């Protein structure tokens, strides 16, 4: 029995332009194959507010930073996460922080928050450096000599992303689990994406291939998390009888059930490594394409000397941080956020009923020419000297559900760039064309990111 969406109930007309059901049916293949291009095309055609022809309450694509702020921040209480996107995610992570649509979200956020406080992040900088160095030695050590070698840097950053989360948040060398985790989380990402995009919402118990794989992926992730919890419980308690001040320790000390702890662990692994990995791969591409920006970044890092910390880069490494900010503008890994209204509201002057779906794509908002002059050009200087977050910039979301890992992710990106680019040079190969941006759970370079990596004379930090 499948809970099939029917077109029998008519879309509610609230006077917002958008594609017709026929347009959608015609475009179904391209929507599935390349949702980013589809969303860009409808925005180009209909403007900053687009209505999709779904039955019942409207489904709106919001592109104006004022409307985005309204939904994510100003009226956030009225806009929850009861959407297909988060329902799909929660079938892999359970109701962890990212997928949860209350009521326990705020409690869980309070428990996890100290793991991301500045002091704690400073304390784990060594772990992030170690993760970067280990993966660089493993993947680049042997074959990359002064002559250069073609390397899929996306595979490298994927490995670093996972290892950094393991070491920094769970104080665990995940290498024993690394392959299992990498396989399980990349399967999970594919499945979440497939479920989230499906128009026909198959019942959770139906034995479809996706559901069977989903259950097995869930079980694999659950088993790895259970191992991590058991290992820590079996170890000697830290001073004061606590389980330690990393994320795993905080969760164990909080009185959460084992199932809740596992949901948070799986959430952090999935939310915390694919995003950073994809962002780093795109950043390396942009640097390979623009040698002047890369040289300036390397000069700044070399002048800085010594190990780079996880925090305070706007002051200590302004150019490197501006490169990261600009890269996250052009290639925001979290390409679509969604919310559903609990009660009535008004969007851009249009009254909307309870149950309205709001889709917000940082990818589109960041490429809006009214907000960003020359939006497709990589220009880190836009962010030099920035103090706060510019309007229309939301790689980490906005409002109360802002990414809890934001500072960690930004710090990790700078640290990884410092480890990599003070020792290696990256270039695009001959006949270069950019890999297609593939919108899955994060926006990945389709088929990886093959760049020419060349070892420099020793100048390392």
Comparing every residue's Cβ against ligand HEM, the nearest one is 405
Name the minimum Å distance from CB 305 to ligand HEM: 26
Query: Are the CB atoms for 419 and 136 separated by under 8 Å?
Result: yes
Task: Give the number of residues in contact with ligand HEM, rule: CB under 6 A.
Answer: 25
**Angle, helix 258-289 to helix 105-112, in steps of 10 degrees:** 70
Question: Smallest gap, in angstroms, from Cβ of residue 336 to ligand HEM?
Answer: 9
Contacts for 255 with CB less than 8 Å, ≥ 6 apart: none
Rounded to the nearest whole angstrom, what is the least distance from the CB of residue 276 to ligand HEM in the complex? 5
Distances (CA, A) of 151 to 29, 318, 438, 444, 450: 32, 28, 19, 16, 5
The bridge status of strand 357-360 relative to strand 59-62 is parallel
397 to 436, contacts with ligand HEM by CB under 6 A? Answer: 397, 401, 403-405, 408-409
Q: By CB under 6 A, is residue 272 in contact with ligand HEM? A: yes
Asked if residue 337 binds ligand HEM (CB under 6 A), the reply is: yes
Position 392 contacts ligand HEM (CB under 6 A): no
What stretches of 73-171 show up as alpha helix (H) in DSSP? 84-93, 105-112, 118-123, 125-140, 153-170
Question: 75, 90, 267, 356: which one contacts ligand HEM (CB under 6 A)?
Answer: 267
Under rule CB under 6 A, residue 174 binds ligand HEM: no
Nearer to ligand HEM, 64 or 246 (CB): 246
At residue 68, the 3 state secondary structure works out as helix
Per-residue tokens: 402: 């802002």
In this chain, which of 62, 136, 271, 416 binds ligand HEM, going by CB under 6 A? 271
CB nearer ligand HEM, residue 267 or residue 320: 267
Using omega within 30 degrees of 0 as the cis cutoff, is the peptide bond preceding 103 cis? yes
Residues 293-332 close enough to bind ligand HEM by CB under 6 A? 332
Contact call for residue 439 and ligand HEM (CB under 6 A): no
Cα–Cα distance between 225 and 181 in angstroms, integer?
10
3-state helix, strand, coil in the chain (%, to 5): 55, 10, 35
Q: Which two tokens stand for residue 170?
A: 């769970």
CB of 263 to ligand HEM, least distance (A): 11
Q: Which is nearer to ligand HEM, 325 or 345 (CB)?
A: 325
CA torsion through residues 435, 368, 376, 415, sign: negative
**Residue 424: in which H helix or E strand, if any?**
strand 424-427
Residue among 272 and 380 whose Cβ is closer to ligand HEM: 272
Of the pair 59, 144, the CB lying nearest ligand HEM is at: 59
**Least distance CB 229 / ligand HEM (angstroms):** 17
Nearer to ligand HEM, 144 or 410 (CB): 410
313 with 301: CB under 8 angstroms? Answer: no
Candidate ranges 6-14, 174-182, 213-221, 264-272; the one touching ligand HEM (CB under 6 A): 264-272
Query: How far, in Å, CA of 264 to CA of 281, rounded?
Result: 26
The reply on whether position 16 binds ligand HEM by CB under 6 A is: no
How many degrees, rounded to 5, is the angle at CA 285 between CA 452 and CA 430?
45
Residues that bind ligand HEM (CB under 6 A): 97-98, 109, 165, 169, 267-268, 271-272, 275-276, 279, 332-334, 337, 395-397, 401, 403-405, 408-409
């Amino acid at each position: 029995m499948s809970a099939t969406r029917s077109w029998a109930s008519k879309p509610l007309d609230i006077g917002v332009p958008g594609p017709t059901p026929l347009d959608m049916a015609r475009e179904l293949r391209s929507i599935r194959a390349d949702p980013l291009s589809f969303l860009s095309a409808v925005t180009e055609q209909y403007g900053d507010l687009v209505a999709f022809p779904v039955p019942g309450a409207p489904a709106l694509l919001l592109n104006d930073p004022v409307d985005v702020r309204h939904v994510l921040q100003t009226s956030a209480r009225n806009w929850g996460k009861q959407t297909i996107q988060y329902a799909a995610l929660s079938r892999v992570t359970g109701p962890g922080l990212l997928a949860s649509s209350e009521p326990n979200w705020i409690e869980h956020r309070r428990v996890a928050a100290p793991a991301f406080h500045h002091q704690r992040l400073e304390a784990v900088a060594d772990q992030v450096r170690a993760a970067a160095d280990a993966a660089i030695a493993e993947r680049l050590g042997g074959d990359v000599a002064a002559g250069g070698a073609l390397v899929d840097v996306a595979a490298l950053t994927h490995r670093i992303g996972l290892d950094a989360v393991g070491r920094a948040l769970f104080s665990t060398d995940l290498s024993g689990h690394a392959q299992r985790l990498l396989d399980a989380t990349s399967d999970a990402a594919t499945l979440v994406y497939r479920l989230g995009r499906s128009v026909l919402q198959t019942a959770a118990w139906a034995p479809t291939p996706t559901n069977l794989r989903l259950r097995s992926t869930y079980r694999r992730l659950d088993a790895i998390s259970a191992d991590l919890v058991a290992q820590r419980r079996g170890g000697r308690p830290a001073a004061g009888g606590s389980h330690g001040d990393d994320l795993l320790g905080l969760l164990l000390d909080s009185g959460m059930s084992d199932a809740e702890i596992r949901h948070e662990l799986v959430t952090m692994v999935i939310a915390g490594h694919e995003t950073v990995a994809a962002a780093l791969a795109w950043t390396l591409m942009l640097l390979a394409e623009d040698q002047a920006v890369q040289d300036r970044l390397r000069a700044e890092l070399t002048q800085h000397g010594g190990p780079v910390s996880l925090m305070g880069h706007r002051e200590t490494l302004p150019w490197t941080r501006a490169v990261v900010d600009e890269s996250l503008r052009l290639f925001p890994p979290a390409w679509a956020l969604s919310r559903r209204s609990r009660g009535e509201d008004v969007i851009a002057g249009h009254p909307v009923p309870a149950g309205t779906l709001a889709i917000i794509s940082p990818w589109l908002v960041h490429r809006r020419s009214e907000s960003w002059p020359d939006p497709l050009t990589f220009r880190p200087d836009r962010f030099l000297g920035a103090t706060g977050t510019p309007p229309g910039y939301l790689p980490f979301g906005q409002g109360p559900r802002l990414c809890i890992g934001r500072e960690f992710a930004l710090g990790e990106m700078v640290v990884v760039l410092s480890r990599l680019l003070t020792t290696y040079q990256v270039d695009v190969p001959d006949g270069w064309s950019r890999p297609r941006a593939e919108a899955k759970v994060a926006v990945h370079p389709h088929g990886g990111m093959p760049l020419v990596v060349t070892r420099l004379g020793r100048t390392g930090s």
